[in-house]
Amino acid sequence: MLTNVKFHWFDKRYLLLMVLLVLPIPQTMAAYNIGPDDLLHISVFGYEDLKTESRVSADGKITFPLIGEVAASGKSSMELEEAIAVRLIEGGFIHDAQVTVTIAEHISQQVSVLGYVNRPGRYPLDSNSSIVDLIAMAEGIAPLGDHKAVVTRMVDGKPRKHELNLRAYLEDQSGASPFKMQQGDQVYVPKAPMFYIYGEVQHPGGYPIEPQTSVLKALSIGGGLTLRGTDNSIVVKRKAENGALQETDVELADPVLRDDVIYVGERWF
């Protein structure tokens, strides 16, 4: 008998998996926990007059016809369906209550993604959402965005900042778990550190500094030298401690630093 029960549940999960593969599921239908200010649509099969739209109160409760207040905060939609059904049955109102709860607006479980991403905004959060998931929802890092993100999280009523190396999470092959997001987190992707290259290069302008960017690599990023350019006439201006730009002696193999200004001069003959 036990074997049959296990097989029955396996069948249900297998069927659900097939449905997930065939039908697209909107973000608002993911498995979230309900929280304050969420808007719920609640219905009972066969009882149109009980169809209700209810917003979760600040103390995490909703009001439903016949049974009054029901604790909703922290429950999944399925758990709330069961709680309402039990109350309806135990109260003698409906013998076999089949309740459906749909989260119409999931305000409580959203995370802000700001800065240099392709689509800044607020995104829904489920119990397994990681920093990688949130960046994907925001359609990735913008061309001038850094591969680091700052996550601000409230801990004991005080903001705590976590600086994350997104490249490590996106390229990690070790199977390590990405940084898990929590309700109320704010993700900010800053502008990448830049260098600037001018003079006799094919494509002068500002460019993000990639890992291990040397002066030689910077010349390549700038499209290479023009016919009149020479790598014997390179001037690098670098910020000093007082913020002023100062000429710095560099070799082609030396690393490029944030806000470096590289100028490539002309040949003398």
- Average predicted confidence (pLDDT) for the chain: 83
Averaged pLDDT, 5-31: 38
Q: How far apart are CA 236 and CA 249, in angstroms?
A: 7
**117 shares its domain with 98:** no
The bridge status of strand 186-189 relative to strand 110-115 is parallel
- Give one word for 60, left, alpha or beta, with left for phi > 0 and alpha for psi -120 to 50: left
Q: What is the CA radius of gyration of the chain?
A: 28
Burial 11-21 (b: 16+ CB within 10 A, else e): eeeeeeeeeee
Return the H-helix or E-strand segment holding 132: helix 131-137
**133 shares its domain with 184:** yes
**177 shares its domain with 253:** no
Q: Give the residue from 58, 89, 105 where a domain finishes.
A: 105
Q: Give the residue from 126, 157, 189 where a domain finishes.
A: 189
**94 shares its domain with 121:** no
Number of domains within the chain: 3
**258 shares its domain with 163:** no
**140 shares its domain with 200:** no
What is the structure's pLDDT at 5?
A: 39
Q: How far apart are CA 183 and CA 106, in angstroms?
A: 11
What is the structure's pLDDT at 3?
A: 40
**171 shares its domain with 244:** no
**13 shares its domain with 98:** yes
**242 shares its domain with 165:** no
Residue 154's domain is classified under what CATH number? Answer: 3.10.560.10
Query: 75: closest CA among 107, 48, 36?
Result: 36
pLDDT bin (cut points 50, 70, 90) of residue 127 is low
Q: Give the residue from 189, 222, 245 where a domain finishes.
A: 189
Query: What is the chain's percent helix, strand, coil content, to nearest 5?
Result: 20, 40, 40
**204 shares its domain with 175:** no
Write out the residue range of the structural domain in which residue 231 sits.
194-266
pLDDT in tens, 104-113: 877 777 889 9
Residue 33's domain is classified under what CATH number? Answer: 3.30.1950.10
**82 shares its domain with 157:** no
pLDDT in tens, 167-219: 887 776 555 567 888 878 899 999 999 999 999 999 999 999 988 899 999 99
**61 shares its domain with 114:** no
The pTM score is 0.61
What is the DSSP code (8-state) at residue 28?
Answer: G
